[in-house]
A and B are shown apart, each in its own frame.
Chain A
Amino acid sequence: MTSSRRGLGAWLLAAALGASCAIPSAAGEPPSTLRVCADPDNLPFSREGAGERGLLVELAELIAAKLGARTEYTWWRTLYGKRAVRNTLLAGRCDAFFGLPYDREFMPTVALSRPFLDVGWAVVTPPETVVARLDDLRGRRVAVVFGSPLQMLLASRGGFDTLTFRDDHEALDALGRRAVDAAFVWGPTAGYVNARKLGGRYRVLPMAGEGLQWKMAIGLRKDSDELGPRLDHALADLAPDIQRLAARYGFPTAAPVDLLAGDAGAVAAGREAFNQHCSHCHSPDAISPEPSRDLRRLRARYGPTTLAVFQVTVLAGRPEKGMPRFNDALTPDTIRTVWTFLESIQD
């Protein structure tokens, strides 16, 4: 599609080598090209064709203008996230894949620009519904999206009246027709749909918590060394414009709220369960004089694997050290409650 054109990477390389066409002019030299990959049908992020084009497309245009380049788009539906990146950016069909998570672990084969926008999950409610804690929504009908982290979170806590929807738009539709009292959806989509379709009637509250808030970046090929710094400079310069764009598309701007914080009741229940089932060996409140049994040191000892170690140890026991298996003795809920308590006392 674009093979006959000179990519920006090539142009930048030429510039680095001191070629005379480093600064393209309107007359004579053809402008260089920023080849962008984006989803053709995924507002508020990107859309092919006339009309509203999405934040990422508008950003690509701003960046290109700053670099003195023209844009060229390869449209690819991102229904399967990593596959879309493989089939476009990594296949050489474009130089920049707009809108990837700023996390090296996402796809180690992809280089990333600096992050330029905070995005994440949100809970959407009518303004009269005040949500300070997740438990405030017990007894209400809440929409969750199929396979989403929030579906899992609510399921793990139990006691919520959840209705499952295929995607954010279906969940927000249900909210609009009052089939649910709240919806857990992706914040930017919620803000956009609220602004454009729901008359701005709803409150979009970004949620803080592990895996719920992200930074957005641009994906690059690892061999395009020259493009990265140029994009990073442009993104830094464009920071105010990006915030303006986010506001125009209705992205939520409020600081994320931790709806699980101050979950004192759960911690107390966990302490009670702990003292009932575990304190014989691990001392009341897990404060053991014997360092190897002092469970306040779990995090220090096991780092990111702490939870996994906890679960395996509790379920399977450590017979050689005298720790029995609790798989049959405790319910999963009790084990989770105990963990909530232990988590709250880590050094």
Chain B
Amino acid sequence: MKRLAALSLVASILSLAPAALAQTTGWSAYGGDTANTRYSPLARIGTTNVAQLRVAWVLSLGSLRSQESTPLVVGDTLYVTSSHGPKHVFALDARTGVVRWRYSPEVPAGIEQFTCCDVHNRGVSYANGKVFVGRLDGHLVALDAKTGKEAWKAQVVDYTQGSVLNSPPTIAKNLVVTGFAGGEFGARGYLVAYDQDSGKEAWRTWTVPGPGEPGNDSWKGDSWKLGGATVWGIGSYDPKLNLIYYGTSNPSPWGGIARGPDSSQYGPFTNLYSSTTLALDADTGRIVWHYQSTPHDAWDYDGVNELVLADLPVGGQTTPVALKADRNGFFYVIHRQTGKLLSAKPFVPINWAKDVDMATGRPVEVPEKRPKLNYRATDVCPHLLGGKNWQPMSFDPQTGLVYIPSLNLCMDMSGSEPQYQRGKFYLKFDAAPKAGPGGHQSEFMAWDPVKGQKVWGNPDDLVWPGGALSTAGGLVFHGDIRGWFKALDARTGKMLWEFNTGSGISAAPITYELDGKQYVAVVSGRTFTIPLFLGAIGKQMVDATPEGGSLFVFELPTK
């Protein structure tokens, strides 16, 4: 039964890839495909020979710290970005690593002073001979894929307001769609679509409804004006339904009392569309459906986690679903055509909510775990970094499992945390985390999305595991904060191979095949900003490895 379902899934995933990009041997989008599965049908490297994997070549990315790029491979060219701007976009011969061109934009001096989060970059998108990259200075740029020359440039957002671009955009037909990160100084999120050829704006959709629009009355007073709900993560696209899927960030400011009642009984003050999954019509940007995972958020349970599109047997029927491992600790299965919630199960230890009411879709809160003005909720799980952060998961249609780099941290938090403003004083409590139940800080796990349960897990005493890749070779690859890059048996989680890259790995690996040879690639370069506000756990992260910046490409030895 499962086997049959798996086969139909392979077929459906292949059909999801836009025709122009149908290179099953490459890696044409951030998530491998626009369904974000991070699954590759390549199988030359498998459980029996992975132990022989060795370094083929290495590229220095030319910058240190916080490397989060997913390389793309289109034809025989590999595209990869560095952090800091990006400082460089490289186009390489995917066989040898020889550089074909390098795009090194002028990034405004001192931009780090403005960036909300870090100076990371998560890579490029590709379509129709163009490479698209978002920059810290708030611009989306289209490059000629052959030469690296700028074709057009559009300002998405003003970086001096603390908003930046660091995720690759979503490709949908003739459009390229992006949001932005940040908004610490007050922002109202939006998604914007540009024509791939001309860079002309096609549509723009606010993620916080304005006056007169449905949902505007879910905000107290004028709090919608700077309500946050920015879109800093990765989108997905279903060409058959012509829907784009994105998760939105937490509402702003953090103090819930500014946006509604300071209570689990928030009534209509849900703060739409913050901490929400949105499905948008790709042609117009119209919001077709939404599902809000954390209404009236008070924990920074940002819902930007990527949606992975799959066709799963639900209630005996193959169903088009979107899968999300949310910051708030629940794993959601949503019907991706209608937005109907199909299941919501905790994938990490959580205590802020008992469960999710399947009739209303709302979490059943534990009132004493909601931070409030002058009230510090203690030992709240998960920590604000979430049950899963940005590091991408992978769905393997062969095993039917999702591989999740999960976090196991808890926190104390009060609901009156002010936003920092220049020249002003206040004491800001840093939500220093503590390890969650079990004492481990993270767990790379296999999750059955149909049964809603964990199949296996590898607990780690350090936090911040890297993103996942699964392959038809029966393997799952991921890195960790100590710099180890690992291959696991996809069915058991048993480690079959590991290699130390010298700096922490947060990014997800890819695999591709050229001239009959399969390669596996991953960037290494420890996160820099995350440890700075994690107290003693942050110190452990910094101590684990130095900063770094390298692309490692692996191969099997030639016989």
Contact = CB atoms under 8 A, between A and B. Distances in A.
Given A81-B420, A103-B427, A308-B376, A146 B185 contact: yes
B216 to A, nearest CB: 15
Given A76-B113, A164-B226, A99 B367 contact: no
**Which of B261, B368, B376, B423 has most chain A Cβ within 10 Å?**
B423
A130 interface: no
Interface string A203-236: 0000000010010100000000000000000000
Interface string B402-418: 00000000000000101
Nearest to A39: B422
A155 B258 contact: yes
B538 to A, nearest CB: 12
Interface in A100-134: 100-101, 103, 105-106, 119-120
A209 B419 CA distance: 19
B254 to A, nearest CB: 7
B135 interface: no
A156 B373 contact: yes
Given A147-B186, A332-B261, A315 B368 contact: yes
Nearest to B533: A82
Consensus secondary structure, chain B interface: loop
B421 A148 contact: yes
A42 B372 contact: no
A145 B423 contact: no
Interface in A73-106: 76-84, 86-87, 99-101, 103, 105-106
A167 B112 CA distance: 21
Interface string B422-441: 11111110000000000000
A146 B226 contact: yes
A42 B261 CA distance: 34
Contact of A152 (B114, B220, B255): B255
A149 interface: yes
Interface string A46-87: 000000000000000000000000000000111111111011
A208 B262 CA distance: 24
A166 interface: yes
A149 B426 contact: yes
Of A42, A80, A168, most B-chain CB atoms within 10 Å:
A80
Interface string B246-260: 000000111101100
A327 interface: yes
Nearest to A149: B418
B375 interface: yes
A311 B427 contact: no
Interface string A243-281: 000000000000000000000000000000000000000
B161 to A, nearest CB: 8
Given A86-B532, A164-B223, A312-B368, A156 B257 contact: yes
B110 interface: yes
B454 interface: no
A197 to B, nearest CB: 17
Contacts of B419: 146-148
Contact of B373 (A83, A152, A216): A152
A42 B416 CA distance: 25
The A contact surface, by secondary structure, is mixed
B419 to A, nearest CB: 3
A341 interface: no
A147 B113 contact: no
Contact of B532 (A83, A99, A307): A83
B256 to A, nearest CB: 9
A324 B257 CA distance: 26
B356 to A, nearest CB: 19
B253 A151 contact: yes
A22 interface: no
Contacts of B255: 147, 151-152, 155
A211 B426 contact: yes
B368 A316 contact: yes
A120 B426 CA distance: 10
Interface string A323-347: 0000100011000000000000000
A195 interface: no
A68 B157 CA distance: 47
How many residues of A sit at the interface, in one of the four size bands?
A: 35 or more
Interface string A174-198: 0000000000001011000000000
A308 B374 CA distance: 7
Contacts of A188: 423
Select the residue from B113, B375, B419 with max chain A CB neighbours within 10 A: B113
Nearest to A75: B110
B257 A152 contact: yes
A45 B424 CA distance: 10
A163 interface: yes
Interface string B263-300: 11100000000000000000000000000000000000
B367 A315 contact: yes
Contacts of A166: 185-186, 226
B374 A307 contact: yes
B162 A79 contact: yes
Interface of A: 39, 42, 45, 76-84, 86-87, 99-101, 103, 105-106, 119-120, 145-149, 151-152, 155-156, 162-164, 166-168, 186, 188-189, 211, 214, 216, 307-308, 311-312, 315-316, 327, 331-332
26 contacts: A78-B423, A79-B114, A79-B422, A80-B184, A80-B420, A81-B422, A83-B532, A84-B113, A101-B425, A101-B427, A103-B425, A106-B425, A145-B421, A147-B252, A147-B418, A147-B421, A148-B418, A149-B418, A151-B255, A152-B255, A155-B255, A156-B262, A186-B424, A308-B375, A311-B375, A332-B262
Given A79-B162, A189-B423, 17 more contacts: A77-B110, A77-B113, A77-B114, A77-B422, A86-B532, A87-B112, A101-B426, A105-B427, A151-B258, A152-B258, A164-B225, A164-B226, A164-B258, A186-B421, A216-B425, A308-B376, A311-B372
